[in-house]
């Protein structure tokens, strides 16, 4: 549960419109330092003030899309949010130079959408269902 003082402080810092949006989407009032943006338009924030944030919850993502899910976060940003990497990808020199020509761009999981992978089979089935044969009486 968010304290009233923290909620009012966050509303003053981020503005009423952004505060209302946060309450609707994440159910929490957060304010922090803008860290960066990924190719999907997701924005990443951090608040190092130990008095305001619960430890482990001081980094968060503000999704660009209304219908969001965790696969919309690229791996490099996921490793920063989960404290696997200390520096965000925008400041990490290894992440900046490690992009290889053979690597594809990150795409979100498309399961349940029109873009989902649907395999098809061109091989005849090994077992066929029984179909009765009707003969005329005669």
DSSP 31-96: --EEEEE-TT--EEEE---TTTS-TT-SEEEE-SSSS--GGGS-HHHHHHHTTSSSS-TTT-HHHH
Asked if 55 and 74 touch (Cβ cutoff 8 Å), the reply is no
Whether pLDDT at 2 is above 70: no
User: Quick check: pTM over 0.75?
Assistant: no
pLDDT of 23? 83
Cα separation, 82 vs 92, in Å, equals 15
Give the pLDDT confidence of 44-70 residue by residue, as tens digits: 999 887 677 777 778 888 888 888 888
Q: Are 11 and 29 in contact (CB under 8 A)?
A: yes
At residue 75, does pLDDT exceed 80? Answer: yes
* 110-122 per-position pLDDT tens digit: 888 898 888 888 8
Contact, 45 vs 33, CB < 8 A? yes
Please count the residues of the chain: 138
Can you name the residues that pair with 59 across neighbouring β-strands? 46
Q: Which of 9-13, 25-29, 95-99, 127-131 has the lowest mean pLDDT?
A: 95-99
């Amino acid at each position: 549960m968010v304290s009233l003082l923290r909620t009012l402080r966050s509303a003053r810092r981020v503005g009423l419109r952004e505060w209302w949006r946060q309450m609707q989407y994440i159910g929490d009032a957060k304010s922090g330092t803008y860290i960066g943006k990924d190719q999907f338009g997701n924005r990443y924030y951090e608040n190092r003030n130990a008095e305001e944030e619960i430890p482990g919850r001081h980094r968060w993502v503000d999704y660009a899309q209304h219908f969001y899910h965790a696969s919309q976060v690229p791996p490099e940003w996921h490793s920063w949010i989960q404290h696997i990497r200390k520096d965000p990808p925008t400041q990490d020199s290894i992440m900046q130079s490690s992009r290889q020509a053979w690597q594809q761009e990150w795409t979100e999981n498309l399961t349940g959408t029109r873009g989902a992978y649907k395999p098809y089979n061109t091989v005849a089935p090994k077992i066929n269902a029984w179909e009765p044969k009707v003969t005329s009486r005669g």
